[in-house]
């Protein structure tokens, strides 16, 4: 997944293919911020509410977004919080974690316009069109400075679903054991079967090239392109299958079920732990944290928050969810490497475990369905405000959802349709239920954040 999506040469997000955009109707998928400006404005409102609950800090606030896409979400967030002058004046830095040069250029154009784009030791830097706030681009969150006195507000929208996964399948105990073990130089006699052979085992599902013979064209007239790769069950345990499923009792409980498939994303756990560390400080050793990172500084008072919006099951372990997306259709993830978006369901419970495991000074709330979160944040009230503005200005009001050339009634219909799409509960494909929202906030006795059952 990492190679296909972010390889410097030929990666899906890092290669500009004849100016083709991955996002929008002409691309491969549409995200919530692209559907309606209301989505990003409500996330900005959520940030404002958390800042208020945490004492309205006057300085040291940072806004971080990982995987910012075209910059649409951050643009809506910054426009939203610019209406709250005390909050806007407390923001010292904005950091965008982006590996794609072409997407960085699109983000800079949207957020900063003609402001200079200069190289700095940790990436690139420019000045936003909102209150002259500085924006710094980094290729990895490891390069974003982490200081205990700062208050980071972190956003991850459709970020975790693109992080690499490992897939494992449970195999039953072996009925027979080989009498010899063959290696490149000789054969070793086995006097007794391995003790592990009498127990169920996790075996990794590996991505291997398709054998050339299976690529020969037959009389079939299928329009589907032939797969370049395929999943193959490992013939024996490997370090990943021995270590990763042992991280959680949830995986262990599925091991006795022969044929069960689980998906684990170590990088996702590491990011969630990093979010929690920046908010609450590290109170325990974090095995998922890279040794290449500096030691976590002591944070005397937890502050900040993280909001994660993505798709996946609320509590169960993701299974067999690896998919390809092209031109708004599901396709095989093993065809056309680098030209197809790849994703897998997010394990929200694993993210919560990782966050709580690294810091005792944070709480995790959710996941809740996107429809419930946006409903509590006032999505209908905001849509009605936009509609009233159209009536008042005779259709000349601003808004990112529609063009000015549309008729007033048509624009109202588009606004209502965009909101309905964000909160739709249609079985199997409604964004309101498909997408979930999870929050990491400072420990405060279980008081629920706004959008998760809490009050403003």
Q: Calculate what percentage of the chain has a pLDDT beyond 70.
A: 83
60 and 149 Cβ atoms separated by less than 8 Å: yes
State CA 333 to chain mean position distance: 18
Dig out the tokens for 212 from the structure: 């050339």
Q: What is the pLDDT of residue 398?
A: 45
- Average of per-residue pLDDT across 308-317: 94
pLDDT band of 426, cuts 50, 70, 90 = confident
Sequence-distant contacts of 242-251: CB under 8 A, at least 24 apart: 242/202, 244/166, 244/168, 245/168, 245/202, 248/350, 248/353, 250/317, 250/349, 251/202, 251/317
228 and 339 Cβ atoms separated by less than 8 Å: no
Cα separation, 63 vs 445, in Å, equals 25
Cα separation, 438 vs 436, in Å, equals 7
Give me the sign of the Cα torsion angle 127, 133, 137, 143.
Answer: positive
- 10 Å Cβ neighbour count for 444? 14
Strands (E), 344-434: 362-369
Cα separation, 328 vs 382, in Å, equals 28
Task: Sort strands 261-264 and 229-233 into parallel, antiparallel or unpaired.
Answer: unpaired
- Average of per-residue pLDDT across 122-126: 97
- 10 Å Cβ neighbour count for 378? 18
Cα separation, 147 vs 14, in Å, equals 30
Cα separation, 395 vs 414, in Å, equals 13
Q: Report residue 166: phi and psi, to 5°.
A: -110, 140
Give me the sign of the Cα torsion angle 81, 82, 88, 94.
Answer: positive
Give, rounded to a whole angstrom, the gap between the first and last alpha carbons of the chain: 40
What pLDDT, in 10s, does the model give residues 405-422?
A: 458 888 899 999 999 999
Residue 178 has pLDDT above 60, yes or no: no
Radius of gyration of the chain (CA): 24
pLDDT band of 89, cuts 50, 70, 90 = very high
- Average of per-residue pLDDT across 385-401: 70
Residue 242 has pLDDT above 60, yes or no: yes
Cα separation, 88 vs 48, in Å, equals 9
Q: What is the pLDDT of residue 9?
A: 82
Q: Calculate what percentage of the chain has a pLDDT beyond 90.
A: 63
Q: Which of 2-11, 176-185, 272-281, 331-340 has the lowest mean pLDDT?
A: 176-185
Q: Which residue shows structure tokens 């290696």?
A: 183
State CA 256 to chain mean position distance: 31
SS3 29: strand
Residue 358 has pLDDT above 50, yes or no: yes
pLDDT band of 65, cuts 50, 70, 90 = very high
The conformation of residue 205, written as its DSSP 8-state character, comes to E
Alpha-helical runs (H) found in 306-378: 348-358, 370-377
Cα separation, 141 vs 84, in Å, equals 27
More confident of the two residues 158 and 186: 158
232 pairs with which residues across the strands? 206
């Amino acid at each position: 997944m990492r190679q296909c999506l972010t390889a410097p040469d030929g990666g899906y997000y890092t290669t500009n293919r004849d100016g083709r955009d991955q996002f929008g109707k002409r691309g491969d998928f549409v995200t919530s911020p692209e559907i309606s400006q209301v989505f990003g404005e409500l996330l900005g409102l959520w940030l404002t509410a958390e800042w208020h609950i945490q004492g309205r800090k006057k300085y040291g606030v940072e806004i971080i977004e990982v995987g910012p896409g075209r910059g649409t979400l951050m643009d809506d967030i910054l426009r939203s919080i610019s209406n709250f002058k005390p909050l806007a004046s407390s923001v010292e830095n904005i950091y965008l974690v982006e590996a794609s040069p072409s997407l960085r250029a699109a983000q800079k154009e949207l957020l900063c316009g003609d402001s200079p784009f200069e190289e700095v030791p940790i990436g690139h830097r420019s000045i936003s069109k909102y209150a002259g706030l500085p924006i710094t681009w980094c290729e990895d969150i490891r390069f974003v400075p982490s200081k205990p006195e700062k208050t980071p507000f972190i956003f991850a929208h459709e970020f975790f679903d693109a992080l690499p996964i490992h897939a494992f399948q449970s195999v039953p105990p072996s009925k027979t054991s080989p009498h010899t073990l063959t290696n490149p130089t000789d054969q070793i006699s086995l006097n007794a079967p391995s003790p592990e052979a009498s127990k169920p085992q996790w075996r990794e599902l590996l991505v291997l090239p398709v054998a050339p013979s299976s690529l020969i064209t037959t009389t079939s007239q299928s329009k589907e392109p032939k797969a370049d790769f395929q999943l193959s069950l490992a013939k024996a345990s490997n370090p990943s299958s021995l270590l990763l499923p042992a991280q959680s009792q949830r995986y262990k409980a599925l091991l006795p079920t022969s044929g069960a498939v689980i998906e684990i994303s170590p990088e996702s756990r590491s990011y969630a732990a990093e979010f929690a560390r920046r908010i609450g400080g590290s109170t325990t050793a974090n095995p998922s944290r890279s040794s290449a990172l500096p030691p976590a500084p002591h944070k005397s008072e937890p502050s900040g928050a993280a909001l994660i919006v993505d798709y996946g099951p609320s509590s169960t372990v993701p299974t067999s969810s690896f998919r390809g997306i092209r031109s708004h259709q599901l396709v095989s993830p093993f065809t056309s490497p680098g030209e197809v978006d790849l994703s897998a369901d997010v394990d929200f419970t694993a993210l919560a475990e990782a966050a709580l495991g690294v810091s005792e000074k944070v709480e995790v709330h959710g996941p809740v369905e996107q429809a419930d979160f946006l409903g509590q944040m006032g999505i209908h009230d905001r849509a009605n405000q936009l509609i009233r503005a159209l009536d008042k200005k005779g259709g000349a009001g601003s808004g990112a959802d529609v063009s000015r050339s549309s008729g007033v009634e048509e624009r109202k219909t588009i606004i209502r349709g965009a909101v309905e799409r964000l909160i739709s509960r249609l079985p199997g494909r409604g964004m309101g239920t498909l997408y979930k929202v999870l929050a990491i906030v400072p420990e405060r006795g279980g008081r629920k954040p706004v959008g998760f059952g809490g009050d403003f």
